[in-house]
Amino acid sequence: MSRFCFHMGQRFGWEENLKPFLEKPLPGKLDWTLTLGSVLALLFAVEAVTGMILAMYYNPSPEHAYQSIHYIMNDVFLGKILRGIHHWGAGAMVVLVVIHLLTTFFYGAYKAPREFTWIVGVFLLVITLGFGFTGYLLPWDQKAYWATVVGTSVASDVPLVGKLITRLLRGGAEVSGLTLTRFYAVHMLIFPALMAVFIVIHIYLVRVHDIAGHWLDEHTRQAKTARFYPDQIFKSAIAFLIIFTGITLMAVFIDPPLEQIAMTPDPSYIPRPDWYFMWLYKMLTFFSGQMEIVGTLAIPIGGMLILLLLPFLNKSLLRSPYDRPLAIAIGVACVVGIVYTNLMGMADSKPYGRIVVVPDRPLTGVEVSGIKSWVQKDCAYCHNVQGQGGRRGQGPDLANVIAKQRSKDWIMKSIRDPLSVSRWNIMPKYDNTEEELQVLSAYIRSLDFAHYGLKTIPREAVLQDKIQ
């Protein structure tokens, strides 16, 4: 046996390459926060394995995607648990990669000579979020469909090429079967390949420049008492087992979400993204109309650029938080802001349509009823009125429909049977009564700002019958 091990060691370069790599001493104190990188790599392996197994039963087509997920959860042996591990594991990866990034920031481990280690880590965060964005379309349920509609629509805010990027993401003008297959390919092929490459680069850079670790005095940092193997690997294995056990227990006792099949007409349905995108969802309530680009693009892209350039903006080699009060204060403020907006988005049942646009003139009784119906049916989720009062969506702006030569009958017909007025219409059919169609049409036709001014009223005033 020893002879066999000797020969295999020679073939794989154990003594020359692997042994020095594994037994390399680590600087300073080896605490549990330094296991996050290894745990994330192992979690990615879990996601890859569970994803490949799920792919054996999944059919990426609008006709069969939802049914295949339903089949996995109800008919495949341990299928519900397997999907649960994949689902909750994805959320755990987002949490851990953010904690890992924050730990690196507060430890000052992004400073020279580890600038590119930090940059690669930021790209890994982006890829992890990309996994989440492309993954939640695959079940093809209501949440998947409408969250993707809104998410891809954000790209349209990009100046000059926004509409082109949106069409590229969707594979056409609307979210369709081509979008599903495109997201499936990116989720299963492109992102895993990118993740694997960046993980290898990240690990290589960490091994070249050592683990930065805790900010300590130079004497303590030079005392290399721990080794990557067995000390770091043993601690990482314990941390991974604890986290994986938690994910497995969640998969056993909490079913992964699966809502109604996509595009099911339901006026009461409120589409919402996964929790880790809720902060961006909430941002859209602070910036509406022409200012929407600030919330959708300027702040997220600006924040990402600051993260990438951080090692070059803060060149001081001092790592202790006490020596970096301004950087720490800005970091804490950003974390608090993201957590706050995330929690507010999760708690807010209707983070859109805070105001309702009405003509600046006395309203008729029919128009008032139409305004109430507009609010109750959450029409503002998809439709804006001159960029105000609504939430981003697919629907057209409904201002000045009279100038667009839209009659009352045309509006009623477009709500009752959208495809009858345009074969490109993606608005679902709604089971409205004739009276509801009449009052909605009256309200929409009242938005004639060519002859009347514009004013807004709070959504709560409509619900409380306090329309002036």
Q: Is residue 352 over pLDDT 90?
A: no
Q: What's the mean pLDDT in 446-454?
A: 76
pLDDT at 43: 96
Alpha helices, DSSP H, located in 287-360: 292-293, 299-313, 325-347
User: pTM for this one?
Assistant: 0.79
pLDDT at 219: 47
Q: Of 75 and 416, which is predicted with more confidence?
A: 75
Q: Which CATH architecture has domain 355-463?
A: Orthogonal Bundle (1.10)
Instruction: Tell me, letter by letter, the H, E, C secondary structure of 18-38.
Output: HHHHHCCEECCCCCHHHHHHH
pLDDT at 351: 57
Residue extent(s) of CATH 1.20.810.10 domains in the chain: 25-347
Highest mean pLDDT: which range of 20-24, 266-270, 326-330, 447-451: 326-330
Please name which of 226, 219, 214, 204 lies closest in space to residue 26, comparing C-alpha atoms. Answer: 226
pLDDT at 276: 84
pLDDT tens profile 142-158: 888 888 887 888 887 78
Rounded-to-integer distance, Cα 42 and Cα 40, Å: 5
198 φ/ψ angles, rounded to the nearest 5 degrees = -70, -35
Residue extent(s) of CATH 1.10.760.10 domains in the chain: 355-463
Please name which of 148, 3, 33, 55 lies closest in space to residue 99, comparing C-alpha atoms. Answer: 33
Contact criterion met (CB below 8 Å) for 72 and 82: yes
Q: What's the mean pLDDT in 199-210?
A: 88
Q: Of 185 and 404, which is predicted with more confidence?
A: 185
pLDDT at 79: 94
The fourth-level CATH superfamily of domain 25-347 is Cytochrome Bc1 Complex; Chain C (1.20.810.10)
pLDDT tens profile 211-270: 776 666 544 555 556 777 777 788 889 999 999 999 999 999 999 988 888 866 555 566
Cβ neighbours of residue 221 under 8 Å, at least 6 residues apart? Answer: 27, 28, 213
Helix (H) or strand (E) holding 81: helix 79-106
DSSP for residue 357: E
Highest mean pLDDT: which range of 97-111, 164-178, 426-440: 97-111
Phi/psi zone of residue 289: left (φ > 0), alpha (ψ -120 to 50 degrees), beta?
A: left
Q: Give the mean pLDDT of the chain.
A: 82
Confidence category of residue 69, pLDDT binned at 50, 70, 90: very high
pLDDT at 307: 92
Please name which of 370, 380, 368 lies closest in space to residue 438, comparing C-alpha atoms. Answer: 370
Handedness of CA 333, 335, 337, 339 (dihedral sign): negative
